[in-house]
Structure 1
């Protein structure tokens, strides 16, 4: 079965919630509200369509970073696998849309942010990598 990938822009509506998975990995759940806007050509005014709500799941490093950086009201762009979950509540069959995020970032059309690159820790016994010559697949430098 092929996965369906989706990219959604919207606003974070709750504080991310931390979860610990059975294997000890960190997961985070973020609630996202996305309200599409469109230009009504007849009236030449912007209109808002119905708001869609998503549960966004992040895992491992992405979860840790989201827990630190994403807060209610932040405009974000989320890319990941779309999952539709069916359940029963109050005797009615319902469906929720979930995104298993592969990437999350602030929507820079709506503000600015500061990026700090994380550095993966390496075991103390490891030696620094040796300098390798460029591989045959590396493109040569461009001539000036």
Structure 2
């Protein structure tokens, strides 16, 4: 959306992401990212820690579940999202003291987050949603049909010239004006 302040922050998580669910059943993760600048002190001729920025951040829905299952306290992360300003009034304590003060806080509504690979390694596991699972089943069905066609014509696959295995994307030249599945196709190369 236009007019929103999008920022990227690199820092460490100050605690494990706190996952909870709203009354409507939506997952939300809240966390704090601490980012400390390194500054060069000319008098001491060395690098020192500068002022620390502690930024509260939130992630929603299925994305929140991924974050809670992947990131832990101390993990160096790179997060990008929309900066939000939230205004609120303080509540009185149990003895009725204080309260009514207007305050403002800045929070990051995260669009993307991941571990920084500067000082660590990571391994990726893709999560398959229900929509992706249905698409995967449809693709498997489409892949089975060409395999059956190839099994029905074994002599044709033997006539094709062998391509080197070191080029997995090399085009297979069609025989007799047909494509790899024996269908009438184009004899020219892939346009990309």
TM-score, normalisation: structure 2? 0.60
| Number of the residue aligned with 2:177 | none
Q: 1:124 to 1:13 in 2, by over 3 A?
A: closer
Name the structure, 1 or 2, with higher relative contact order (CA <8 Å, separation 6+).
Answer: 1
Q: 1:34 to 1:140 in 2, by over 3 A?
A: same
| Number of the residue aligned with 2:67 | 66
- Superposed displacement of residue 42, structure 1: 6.0
* Alpha-carbon distance between aligned partners in 2 of 1:124 and 1:117, rounded to the nearest angstrom: 12
* Alpha-carbon distance between aligned partners in 2 of 1:38 and 1:125, rounded to the nearest angstrom: 52
Long gaps (5+) in structure 2: 91-97, 144-189
| Number of the residue aligned with 1:95 | 104
* Alpha-carbon distance between aligned partners in 2 of 1:112 and 1:124, rounded to the nearest angstrom: 28
Structure with the largest fraction of helix? 2
Long gaps (5+) in structure 1: 132-138
Match of 1:106 among 97, 110, 115: 115
Contact 1:10 1:35 in 2 (8 A): yes
Report the more deviating stretch, 98-107 or 44-53: 44-53
* SS at 2:77 equivalent: strand
Coordinate RMSD, CA, aligned: 2.7
* Alpha-carbon distance between aligned partners in 2 of 1:84 and 1:112, rounded to the nearest angstrom: 34
Structure with the largest fraction of strand? 1
TM-score, normalisation: structure 1? 0.77
- Superposed displacement of residue 7, structure 1: 0.4
Structure number with greater Rg is 2
| Number of the residue aligned with 1:46 | 47
Contact 1:27 1:57 in 2 (8 A): yes
User: What is the correspondence of 1:80-91 to structure 2 with a 5 Å cutoff?
Assistant: 80-89=81-90, 90=98
Contact 1:62 1:103 in 2 (8 A): no
* Number of residue equivalences: 134
- Superposed displacement of residue 31, structure 1: 1.6
